[in-house]
Structure 1
Amino acid sequence: MKAKTLSASSFKAPIVKANALSGTFAFTVDVEEWFQVGAFETTFTKADWPSLESRVELQTLKLLDFMRGASIKGTFFCLGWVAEKYPSLLKAIVNDGHEIACHGLDHDRLFTMSKADFKADIQRSKGAIEDVTGVTVIGYRAPSFSLTPNVWWVYDLLDSEGFKYSSSLYPVKTDHYGMESAPRAPFYPANSSIVEIPMTVCDVPFRRLPASGGGYFRLMPYWLSRYLLRNGAKQSSAPAIFYMHPWEMDTDQPYVKEAPLLSRFRHYQGQARLPAKLTRLAKDFSWGRMQDIYENILTEVKVGK
């Protein structure tokens, strides 16, 4: 089936407003097991998961320790799968003052699901997170930034299940994800009251680069990542968003020699240097939670939906 493309009618006017916490960027974490990542999707199946070493609790607690020491508050997009298996971990995240949000149930990409599948996915994952933490979940991030024009209907279902914002689009084209035609500033998708808060990109001569971190932060020299974050925020007139995964700090995780070479490079390269880079990042920018930075947008009452 030919992929759809987005037209200007897919968006309402982008929102460009000063954030409530002037100068603060969003620190976000996608909480998932090391073996649930896209890099290993051709190596492991869900049937393999029970036989693999679980390290998400150890990894996330290590990251929480770092953030506590660096005085960073952030937003943790958690899989419902993790909430069901490690409820004490989610309680620890909330007890440290972080926002808890939803990353889907078990990291299925959106374009692999029907509307019924997606509704069941977010109902179960959101419910599991809320039952464990006692906190109302308002934020959602699609696994692997897999929100494409073919599944634009997810916004209606997110709205119906009580979400207020999504951070599921990366306005850049890579071989793994991206929607370059999407706005760079927060926007309301047409006919939706959900706010989409895109990841940060930076235009440099002749190309656009991802600026929000992830594997790029591990692979790029720190000075370049800092430049892209700062200038990407200026170009979009919106606070930058940084993201990472707990497994990125774990140099003792299993090495999957069966995975393709490129997948192994993406997953493992730069892990040993990451703590030092994060320490510099914590000093160079002010960091906060998505729900606080975008509070003025999220509390708006939408008229004429």
Structure 2
Amino acid sequence: MPAPRPLRVSLSVDMEPDCPPFLWTWRGVTEGAPRLVDLFAREAVPVTWFTTGETARLHPAAVEAIVEAGHELACHGVTHQRFDWMSRDSARWEIAESARRLRAFGEVTSFRAPNLRFPGHYLDLLVEEGFRLDSSQARYKKDVPGEPNAPSLVRIPASITSSALRIPRLIREFLLGRLPDPVVLFVHPWEFVDFRQANLRYDCRFRTGQPALDALAAVIAYFKSRGASFVTMRDLGEQMRGEAA
């Protein structure tokens, strides 16, 4: 019998303002993102950065740093507004405009909606703009109503919420160990800024800053110890496209 395929893990970062809609500052992009770039370089893991168009407009150097580090640049809309609250015309503008802004920095073929909420009947808008992969679903959330209308698009859901990566190690590894292949993890740059004393919702502030960075490093080490293969969302999508052919 052939040897079993290694577990595939795709790490991703949702590059956006600080804990929207509670804050609209950018400390995550200016302070947290460089810490993540350094961590991923030390660990030699490729990462997909789902980035808003506003991030690209206001902080182009941060986007350039991602591309220069060899990571995948991906799309997270323009304004970090929820697509399930938008009209079709507004959704079309968000997708087209974010693609235009981000493709000034490099190839962009993967998409993730803010809040992991994206109506299935808007998927054809992604195909119109040349996207090949959508990661706007989550295994731990119910799908947004709307019949999917883009069979050519590979859809890969997130496996677990980002705040779960900051919980105590024993509980965290118990949960991570039960996730099926492929494992899709995501974090936000603002989680790596110390907001522990801020007047924010608890999941936006607990164990943020250095504890979050240490936890993410431990998560990477955990999957490496299991022999996992780290891949970008783009590469994972192409693998899954080939498997389905």
Please report how far the alpha carbon of residue 179 of structure 1 lies from its aligned counterpart in structure 2 after TM superposition: 0.8
- Please give the per-residue CA displacement for 1:241-263, whole angstroms capped at 9, x wherever unaligned: 11101111111x59543x5xxx1
Question: Unaligned regions of 5+ residues in structure 2, if any?
Answer: none
1:80 aligned residue (53, 62, 67): 53
Distance 2:109 2:26 in 1: 31
Cross-structure match for 1:152: 120
Distance 1:54 1:275 in 2: 15
Distance 1:162 1:110 in 2: 18
Letter in 1 for 2:125: L
Shift in alpha-carbon separation, 1:295–1:275, aligned structure 2, 3 A? same
Two-structure CA RMSD over aligned residues (Å): 2.8
Answering whether residue 188 of structure 2 is matched by residue 245 of structure 1, we say yes
- Please give the per-residue CA displacement for 1:84-120, whole angstroms capped at 9, x wherever unaligned: 1111211110111111100111110012210000000
**TM-score calculated relative to the size of structure 2:** 0.86
Answering whether residue 29 of structure 2 is matched by residue 61 of structure 1, we say no
Q: Which structure 2 residues correspond to residues 200-215 of structure 1 after superposition, within 5 A? A: 200=159, 212-215=160-163
Shift in alpha-carbon separation, 1:53–1:61, aligned structure 2, 3 A? closer
**TM-score calculated relative to the size of structure 1:** 0.70
Answering whether residue 178 of structure 2 is matched by residue 231 of structure 1, we say yes
Q: Does the CA contact (< 8 Å) of 1:166 and 1:195 recur in 2?
A: yes
Cross-structure match for 2:154: 195
Please report how far the alpha carbon of residue 168 of structure 1 lies from its aligned counterpart in structure 2 after TM superposition: 0.7
Shift in alpha-carbon separation, 1:231–1:53, aligned structure 2, 3 A? closer
Please report how far the alpha carbon of residue 222 of structure 1 lies from its aligned counterpart in structure 2 after TM superposition: 1.8
Shift in alpha-carbon separation, 1:299–1:124, aligned structure 2, 3 A? farther
Q: Which moved more, 1:290-299 or 1:162-171?
A: 290-299
Distance 2:132 2:64 in 1: 22
Answering whether residue 205 of structure 2 is matched by residue 268 of structure 1, we say yes
Shift in alpha-carbon separation, 1:189–1:230, aligned structure 2, 3 A? farther
Please report how far the alpha carbon of residue 189 of structure 1 lies from its aligned counterpart in structure 2 after TM superposition: 4.0
Q: Which structure 2 residues correspond to residues 1-305 of structure 1 after superposition, within 5 A? A: 22-35=6-19, 37-38=20-21, 40=22, 49=24, 52=25, 54-131=27-104, 133=105, 135-147=106-118, 151-172=119-140, 178-179=141-142, 189=148, 191-200=150-159, 212-218=160-166, 220-233=167-180, 238-251=181-194, 256-257=198-199, 259=200, 263=201, 265-271=202-208, 272-285=210-223, 286=228, 287-298=230-241
Q: How many residues are matched? A: 236
Question: Computing the radius of gyration over CA atoms, which structure comes out larger, 1 or 2?
Answer: 1
Letter in 2 for 1:31: M
Q: Does the CA contact (< 8 Å) of 2:137 and 2:143 recur in 1?
A: no
Distance 1:293 1:153 in 2: 24
Letter in 1 for 2:11: F
Distance 1:239 1:83 in 2: 29
